[in-house]
Amino acid sequence: PYWIAWALTGYGRAFANADPARALDALREGLALSRAQRLPHREALIARDAAAIEAVHGELEQALARFATAVDSFQRASNLANVADTLAYLAVFFDRLQRPEIAATLYGASTGHGINTMVMELPRVVDHLRSVLDRVSFDRCVAAGAAMEAADAVAYARDQIHAARREVAGLT
């Protein structure tokens, strides 16, 4: 089951841009398999990949729920590298939601705990954030995020996810 879920992840990643619906189908299948077989690390990886695609081609609520699953799972496992990558994915997501301060803070938090090599859109997002925020605001947000301990960065991410979920659901 682990290798099937792994293959479905690769399949989903391969089709993420060319055929997002196909990619999401594969990732959802891998997610269900990972949950059924109690493969929490694989579930978290797939949830994060699916969230990134859902954020662009799916439902915002589903993307936020999957990001929450990923960040919680990686924190429980003390997997700081994947926490950092998930925070970087969230920075990209919040940039899309036009929340530059949140995005810059999450970017800063991600740099404080990892190297974010997996987040291909991050350099473009950082450039965008620098153009949207004045230099002082950008530097302040990034520094605040980078200064966060991992648990604080995860709590901040959870708070932002929760607020965005409420907003998406029309509860604000």
> What pLDDT does 148 receive?
95
Q: Which two tokens stand for residue 165?
A: 């979920």
AA letter at 84: A
Q: Which two tokens stand for residue 120?
A: 């291909």
**DSSP 8-class letter at 119:** -
> What pLDDT does 115 receive?
65
pLDDT in tens, the chain (172 residues): 999 999 999 999 999 989 999 999 999 999 999 999 999 889 999 999 999 999 888 788 999 999 999 999 898 888 888 999 999 999 999 999 999 999 999 999 998 776 666 788 899 999 999 999 999 999 999 999 999 999 999 999 999 999 999 988 886 5
* DSSP SS3 for 169: coil
* DSSP SS3 for 93: helix
Task: Say how far apart CA 35 and CA 32 lie, in whole Å.
Answer: 5
Q: How far is CA 27 from CA 23, 59, 115, in A?
A: 6, 15, 24
